[in-house]
C-alpha cells in the first residue's frame, strides 16, 4: 500500500503544476493582447512592417518575472528609429499602458512601459 504522506505530496505537486500551467496560459493571453494593441499603434503611425515578440516569451523560457520584448521590423520611412520611438512613447499612455520610459542612448534604443491591466512590463524597439 502507498503511504498517505506520499499521496499527499503527489497531490500537492500535481496541483502546483496545474496552477503553474494556468499562470503560463494567462501570461500568454496577456502577451497576445499586448501585441495586438502594439500592432494597432503601429498602424496608427502608418508603419509598414511586422510587430513580433522575441526573447523569453517567444522561445519558451519565460518566468514569472519575464518582461515582454517586442520589436517592429519594417520600413520606417524618413523617420529614424528614435524619432519614431518618441511618437510611439507619446501614444502609449492612451493605449492602456503606464510607467513609460524612453531609453534612447542605448545600443538599441527602446521604450519601456507597463501594461496597466496585468502589470506586465514591455520593452519595445525598432528593427533590432
What is the C-alpha separation between 123 and 119, in angstroms, rounded?
13
List pLDDT tens digits, range 4-47.
Answer: 888 788 788 777 776 666 777 888 899 999 999 999 999 999 88
Q: Mean pLDDT score of the chain, rounded to an integer?
A: 86
List pLDDT tens digits, range 3-14.
Answer: 888 878 878 877
Concatenating the DSSP letter of every residue in 36-77 gives HHHHHHHHHTT-EEEEEEETHHHHT---TTPPEEEEEEEE-T
pLDDT at 58: 64
pTM: 0.78
What is the C-alpha separation between 38 and 76, in angstroms, rounded?
15
Amino acid at each position: 500500500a502507498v503511504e498517505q504522506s506520499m499521496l499527499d505530496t503527489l497531490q500537492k505537486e500535481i496541483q502546483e503544476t496545474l496552477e503553474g500551467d494556468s499562470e503560463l496560459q494567462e501570461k500568454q493571453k496577456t502577451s497576445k493582447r499586448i501585441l495586438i494593441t502594439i500592432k494597432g499603434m503601429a498602424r496608427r503611425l502608418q508603419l509598414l512592417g511586422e510587430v513580433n515578440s522575441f526573447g523569453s516569451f517567444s522561445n519558451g523560457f519565460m518566468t514569472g518575472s519575464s518582461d515582454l520584448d517586442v520589436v517592429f521590423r519594417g520600413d520606417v520611412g524618413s523617420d529614424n528609429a528614435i524619432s519614431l520611438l518618441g511618437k510611439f512613447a507619446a501614444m502609449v499612455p492612451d493605449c492602456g499602458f503606464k510607467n513609460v520610459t524612453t531609453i534612447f542612448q542605448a545600443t538599441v534604443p527602446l521604450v519601456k512601459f507597463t501594461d496597466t491591466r496585468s502589470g506586465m512590463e514591455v520593452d519595445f524597439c525598432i528593427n533590432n
